[in-house]
Structure 1
Amino acid sequence: MAGDSVSTRGKTVVLSSLPLQILLYLNGWYFALFWIGELLLFIYKATLLPYPGANFAAEAVILIFMAGIEYVRLFLGKKGNLTEKIIHLGVSLGIGLATLFFGLYLFLWQTYVLRIELILVAIEMAFLFFEAIFGLIAIITFARAESFR
């Protein structure tokens, strides 16, 4: 499964991070539910609450961009972890900053913030935090293994 596993004394050592892979997998499912929930809440707020100016369109665009960026981030994270490629994990962590910004927008700055949204976004931010920690650990592990080759 791993692309560039380290070989020591005829044995292959897999360096991929299992906790990172589990988090990426679970975050994929959670983000799908999160996005559907945010979409339904967005429709609910749009029908009951008055939106000033272009805020409605801007928040709809942010929700769509967030889905695309998160899909790419999760794909690169899984690929980078399984193939043990530092560049893929690094790009995934960089894209995670964009997801973090969108999450902060939903958490703090959108026009109307409901309590359920605070909970949903906080869980997504927790996934991002732990994936960043385990992603950095995996990058360090992969870099050390490369230096021994």
Structure 2
Amino acid sequence: MAAVRRGMGRTSSIQSSLSLQILFYANGIYYIFYFLATLAMIVYKSQVYSYPDSFLASDLALLFIMAILEALRLYLGSKGNLTEEEAPLGLSLVLTVGSALLCVYFLLWQTYVLKADVILSAVLLFTYGLESVLDIVAIAAFVS
């Protein structure tokens, strides 16, 4: 933790986590790849396999819901980390649970699961786990 001089001899310590901020940025880039690859695989599976229309619609809807959750989660997490506020970071942690559940859906329960789905989702789940640990550490640092 670094100390920064503020005004008349006062010092303030910076507690935001650089590793968490880098992970938020990398996860944002990876999620764009994940979203596009998953969308392409859903289109591929709908052309190659007999994909029931209702399942196709639900898989696409869940993917777009996950994208909205992910954008909100990354925004709140990054904002909370940079401003050293527990509330946005805690909300980001809660949204991580929702995103992880949707990721597990695409890993295990979607209509057709390809090996590429498993690999992409496993990497995303790993980053969610790592972010969650760093979120908790950052929240603990902000509270103390």
Which TM-score bucket, shorter chain as reference? Answer: over 0.9
TM-score of the pair, normalised by structure 1:
0.89
Q: Which residue of 1 aligns with 2:109?
A: 109
Q: Which residue of 2 aligns with 1:68?
A: 68
Q: Which residue of 2 aligns with 1:86?
A: 86
Taking the TM superposition and a 5 Å limit, the aligned residue runs for 1:7-18 are 10-18=10-18
The answer to whether structure 1 residue 25 and structure 2 residue 25 are counterparts is yes
Q: What amino acid does structure 2 have at the position aligned with 1:142?
A: F
Identity of aligned residues (%): 36
Aligned-partner SS, 1:54? helix
Total equivalences in the alignment: 138
Taking the TM superposition and a 5 Å limit, the aligned residue runs for 1:27-46 are 27-46=27-46
The answer to whether structure 1 residue 125 and structure 2 residue 125 are counterparts is yes
The CA distance in 2 between the partners of 1:119 and 1:113, in whole Å, is 11
Q: Which residue of 1 aligns with 2:134?
A: 134
Aligned-partner SS, 2:12? strand
The Cα shift of 1:12 comes to 2.2
Aligned-partner SS, 2:50? coil
The Cα shift of 1:43 comes to 0.5
Q: What amino acid does structure 2 have at the position aligned with 1:31?
A: Y
The CA distance in 2 between the partners of 1:107 and 1:56, in whole Å, is 16
The Cα shift of 1:11 comes to 2.0
Aligned-partner SS, 1:80? helix
Q: Which runs of 4+ in 1 moved over 4 A?
A: none
The CA distance in 1 between the partners of 2:40 and 2:53, in whole Å, is 21
The Cα shift of 1:21 comes to 0.5
Q: Please give the root-mean-square deviation of Cα atoms over the aligned residues, in Å.
A: 1.3
Structure 1 gaps, min length 5:
145-149
Q: What amino acid does structure 2 have at the position aligned with 1:24?
A: F
The CA distance in 1 between the partners of 2:134 and 2:53, in whole Å, is 41
TM-score of the pair, normalised by structure 2:
0.92
Which structure carries more relative contact order (alpha carbon 8 Å, separation 6+)? 1
The Cα shift of 1:20 comes to 0.5
The CA distance in 1 between the partners of 2:52 and 2:35, in whole Å, is 23
The CA distance in 1 between the partners of 2:53 and 2:126, in whole Å, is 32
Q: What amino acid does structure 2 have at the position aligned with 1:57?
A: A
